Amino acid sequence: MPRPFRFGVNLLNAAPAAEWRAKCRRAEELGYDVILVPDHLGMVAPFPALVAAAEATERPRLGTFVLNAGFWNPALLAREVATTDALTGGRLELGLGTGYVPAEHEAAGLPYGSPRERVDHLRRTVEELERLLGSADHEPRPVQARVPVLIGANGDRMLRLTAEHADIAAFTGARPGNTPGSLEPLGADELDERVARYHAAADRAEPAELNLLIQLVAVTDDPEPALKPLLERQAGLTLDEALALPLVLAGPLDRIVAKVRAQRERFGFSYLTVLEPFMEAFAPVMERLRAESA
């Protein structure tokens, strides 16, 4: 029996209080299950934004997608997590990653480190959070007995860490590009291999929820204009190849819905996250998927 679908939107753009609350309410009206925020300089500060989102909404879960572990000290992060979970009424989901933009660390005056060092730091962060938040002596206390942990991963060591510790395994569907801070999309066969590598490392009684970040949504009979920027960035990628990428949902509604269902069957992705610019465009896809599952 496949896991039921769940849908999140990652809100990227800072806004004054009234506008921020309005777009959080709009996400709830559209049916999103999770309102998420990133952790990049120049975007919203994660935890205050989630508390404000909780005040404006009633139903959606609230999460970070994903915290840049290099920005955080584990003890201070544990305080933020516990406080935010309490202030949101136990609706928090904690997303964590290594970070991938060197310029942000430079601007913050923080070391970026090698890939190994970044993964090591994330492991220490995850393990220390589990120790601190799992202790009855830690103050403040979260509402949830365990705040669900999402880890965004692609490389082998990250997939092992995710298999060991994450309640939600998030796949970027991309690898680091040649330019620092850039990403290149993975094809379906490459993503198959990454998901298989994750499952090979996972030895757990309760399977994790699998998440995929969707980078582009366009419900249209003519997807080529919507894909033009991607084709210009990815030299040598054809239109048909772009349409087949797991992180791209472009085309007529029926075709997109069929692709989402096929990807749940093939990869196990039941939890999909879309970016804020596509919040409205993805709504009819959610509506159709839920209607067909009713």
* Mean local confidence (pLDDT), 83-92: 98
94, 63 contact by CB (below 8 A): yes
What's 6-215+255-280's CATH class? alpha beta
50-55 long-range contacts, Cβ below 8 Å, gap at least 24?
Answer: 50/84, 50/88, 50/92, 51/84, 51/87, 51/88, 52/17, 52/20, 52/21, 52/24, 53/11, 53/20, 53/21, 53/24, 53/88, 54/87, 54/88, 54/89, 54/91, 55/21
Domain boundaries, the chain: 6-215+255-280
Residue 180: pLDDT over 90: no
pLDDT for residue 176: 79
Q: What is the pLDDT of residues 51-73, one digit of tens each?
A: 999 999 999 999 999 999 999 99
Question: Nearest 5°: phi and psi at 207?
Answer: -60, 145
Residue 177: pLDDT over 80: no
218, 282 contact by CB (below 8 A): no
Query: Considering the chain, what is the average pLDDT of its residues?
Result: 96
Residue 235: pLDDT over 90: no
Q: What is the pLDDT of residues 237-273, one digit of tens each?
A: 999 999 999 999 999 999 999 999 999 999 999 999 9
Q: What is the pLDDT of residues 221-232, one digit of tens each?
A: 999 999 999 999
Roughly what angle, to the nearest 10 degrees, separates helices 279-293 and 253-267? 70
Residue 116: pLDDT over 90: yes
Which sign, positive or negative, has the C-alpha torsion 23, 274, 93, 46? Answer: negative
Q: Are strands 34-37 and 183-185 parallel, antiparallel or unpaired?
A: unpaired
Q: What is the pLDDT of residues 141-171, one digit of tens each?
A: 999 999 999 999 999 999 999 999 999 999 9
Look up residue 210 and give its DSSP letter.
E
Per DSSP, the three-state class of 229 is: helix
79, 39 contact by CB (below 8 A): no
Per DSSP, the three-state class of 278 is: helix
pLDDT for residue 155: 93
Residue 181: pLDDT over 80: no
Q: Which amino acid makes up residue 214?
A: I
Residue 179: pLDDT over 90: no
Q: Token match 């509506």: residue? A: 287
Compute CA distances 239 → 228, 250, 254, whole Å. Answer: 9, 11, 19
